[in-house]
Amino acid sequence: METYHILITLGILSLAVEIFTLTFLFSSVSVGLFLAAFGNYFEYSTENQIYLFSIGVIVSFFAIRPLFNKIAYNTNDKKTNKDNMINKLGVVIKKVGDEFNPGLVKIDGDMWKAITTENEIKENSRVRIIEINSIILTVVEIK
């Protein structure tokens, strides 16, 4: 078995390990191994193969990894179920006041703590969610 076969096999194994780690480190190593295999196939000196390996790892880790992370983990545009609750309607179960006197609102069968920015909202009134802070809803009365 030629040396470049071993390098290619190690590169493939590095990609397989990357599937389980998602850090892009093993992907960078595999790029370096593939470049070293390329150098070995064309009979570059061992020193040049090490240079190819190093350049492959460094360039892919410091240049490609940040781009990959920016694309893969861009959380600015992702919405959660929390965003779907805005403008939903519910019924007041316990009188809703300000942040010092939160009440209870029933929405889709679930009970939530709620506050209002307006006057107190009495029981059995219908409300609409305008904001969510952690687990406390801010609601307004529907008239």
Q: How many CB atoms lie within 10 A of CB 82?
A: 9
Please, what is the average pLDDT of the chain? Answer: 91
**Mean predicted confidence (pLDDT) in 63-79:** 75
Residues 98 and 54 in one domain: no
Domain that holds residue 88: 81-141
Indicate whether 68 and 89 sit together in one domain: no
Which of 14, 38, 72 is where one domain is finished? 72
- Given 72, 92, 120, the domain boundary residue is 72
pLDDT value, residue 30: 96
Whether the CB-CB separation of 90 and 104 falls below 8 Å is answered with no
Residues 7 and 63 in one domain: yes
CATH of the domain at 107: 2.40.50.140
Of residues 134 and 77, the one with the higher pLDDT is: 134
Q: Which pLDDT band holds residue 143 (cuts at 50, 70, 90)?
A: confident
How many distinct structural domains can be found in the chain?
A: 2
68 and 7 co-located in one domain = yes
CA-based Rg of the chain, rounded to a whole angstrom?
29
Helices 46-59 & 25-41 angle (0-180, nearest 10):
150
In which band, very low, low, confident or very high, does the pLDDT at 129 lie, cut at 50, 70 and 90? very high
Provide CB contacts within 8 A for 97, sequence distance 6+. 103, 115, 116, 120
Tens digits of per-residue pLDDT, 5-60?
A: 999 999 999 999 999 987 889 999 999 999 999 999 999 999 999 999 999 999 99
pLDDT value for 27: 92
CA distances from 23 to 26, 28, 61 (A): 7, 10, 10
